[in-house]
């Protein structure tokens, strides 16, 4: 393991003005997205959609530092025979790969899951490295139960530890393979919980994560953290302001994340496009932290482009224009330079 090489990749992944495009949707997930635009999810359509994104300029060169791919995509060629990995590299972005096998029910912990995929991971990482991947992603899912549900309340400490232990083992295997691990402990935002509960659970999860990373011998200089922001559940009647979201998120990170970590790339977690941009921007406007704060968005970067594309070749330019806009807005937010006026101006 060359820690300097890993560190250099991690730093490039969080370069100011740039962020990570999460294009690692499973076949099932992208099928649901295509359903929303009444487009059949075929091998060719998935290729066309992702090729269109990866060819979009100036977004890919100016505002995308890396792209998380799915197993199908890292092996796929564009319509002209160019590999999609080469397309990404030609714009100066770094190819990455999702390596987990998804969240499965955790035995003895009703309502909780643990992410699987450690078996055979060493061999898969070696293959992905040969295919061009220089970073990887593993997502742990942490769900907060309804505030009134005192029996079987989640998450439990055991559930959190099971997920952060897996993240630690995954991260160590990545670094052994010369691949930067994105570690993603996602506290889901879909519930009824208030912002205090999200704050508490996020802090507990991150403390557990960094204990596991230390115990597994992971070098923090060569990782990127992908956490949720501290928000209230979408079904909560009391929603915090952008200022409170930013202040609470920064506080949790300062209380849990060592300064050795080069950068933090937030997931959007189901936030609306402008909401994800606005909250990232507010944190960077506040400042005063040792790491770079940027984005690792999927839907919040792609959704407007997807709706513009509608699965039709004649909408190619409109879709690229929509992707260019969202990438530029998030690039500005990663430097604390975004404004609502800029976003509305298109």
Residue 44 above 90 pLDDT? yes
336 Cα distance to chain centroid:
19
337 catalytic residue (yes or no)? no
Residue from 184, 186, 203, 212 carrying the catalytic annotation: 184
pLDDT at 18: 98
226 catalytic residue (yes or no)? yes
How many folded domains does the chain comprise? 1
Q: What is the pLDDT of residues 189-209, one digit of tens each?
A: 999 999 999 999 999 999 999
Give the count of beta carbons closer than 10 Å to the beta carbon of residue 295. Answer: 29
The sign of the CA dihedral 292, 179, 50, 187 is negative
Q: Could you tell me if 193 and 150 are in contact, meaning their C-beta atoms sit under 8 angstroms apart?
A: no
Residue 333 has phi, psi (to 5 degrees) of: -65, -35
Q: Could you tell me if 176 and 1 are in contact, meaning their C-beta atoms sit under 8 angstroms apart?
A: yes
pLDDT at 153: 87
Q: What is the pLDDT of residues 269-286, one digit of tens each?
A: 989 999 999 999 999 999
pTM above 0.95, yes or no: yes
Domain limits for position 329: 3-345
Residue from 137, 226, 292, 328 carrying the catalytic annotation: 226
Specify the CATH number for the domain of residue 243.
3.20.20.70
pLDDT at 1: 72
């Amino acid at each position: 393991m060359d820690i300097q090489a890993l560190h250099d990749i991690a730093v490039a992944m969080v370069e100011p003005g740039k962020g990570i495009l999460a294009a690692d949707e499973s076949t099932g997930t992208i099928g649901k997205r295509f359903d929303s635009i009444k487009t059949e999810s075929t091998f060719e359509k998935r290729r066309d959609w992702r090729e269109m994104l990866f060819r979009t300029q100036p977004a890919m060169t100016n505002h995308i530092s890396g792209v998380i791919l799915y197993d199908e995509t890292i092996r796929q060629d564009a319509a002209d025979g160019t590999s999609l990995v080469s397309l990404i590299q030609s714009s100066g972005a770094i190819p990455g790969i999702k390596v987990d096998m998804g969240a499965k029910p955790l035995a003895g912990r009703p309502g909780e899951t643990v992410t699987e995929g450690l078996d055979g991971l060493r061999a898969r990482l070696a293959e992905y490295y040969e295919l061009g991947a220089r970073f990887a992603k593993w997502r742990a899912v942490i769900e907060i139960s309804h505030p009134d549900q005192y029996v079987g309340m989640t998450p439990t400490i055991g559930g959190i530890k099971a997920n952060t232990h897996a993240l630690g083992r995954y991260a160590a295997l990545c670094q052994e393979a010369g691949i930067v691990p994105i570690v993603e402990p996602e506290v889901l935002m879909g519930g009824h919980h208030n912002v205090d509960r999200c704050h508490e659970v996020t802090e507990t999860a991150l403390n557990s994560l960094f204990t596991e990373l230390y115990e597994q011998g992971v070098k923090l200089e060569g990782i990127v953290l992908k956490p949720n922001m501290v928000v209230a559940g979408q079904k909560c009647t009391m929603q915090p302001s952008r200022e409170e979201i930013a202040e609470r998120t920064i506080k949790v990170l300062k209380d849990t994340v060592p300064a050795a970590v080069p950068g933090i790339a937030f997931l959007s977690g189901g936030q609306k496009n402008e909401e994800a941009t606005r909250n990232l921007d507010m944190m960077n406007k506040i400042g005063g932290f040792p790491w770079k704060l940027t984005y690792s968005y999927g839907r919040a970067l792609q959704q407007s482009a997807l709706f513009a594309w509608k699965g039709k070749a004649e909408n190619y330019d409109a879709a690229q224009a929509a992707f260019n806009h969202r990438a530029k807005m998030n690039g500005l937010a990663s430097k604390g330079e975004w404004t609502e006026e800029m976003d509305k101006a298109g």
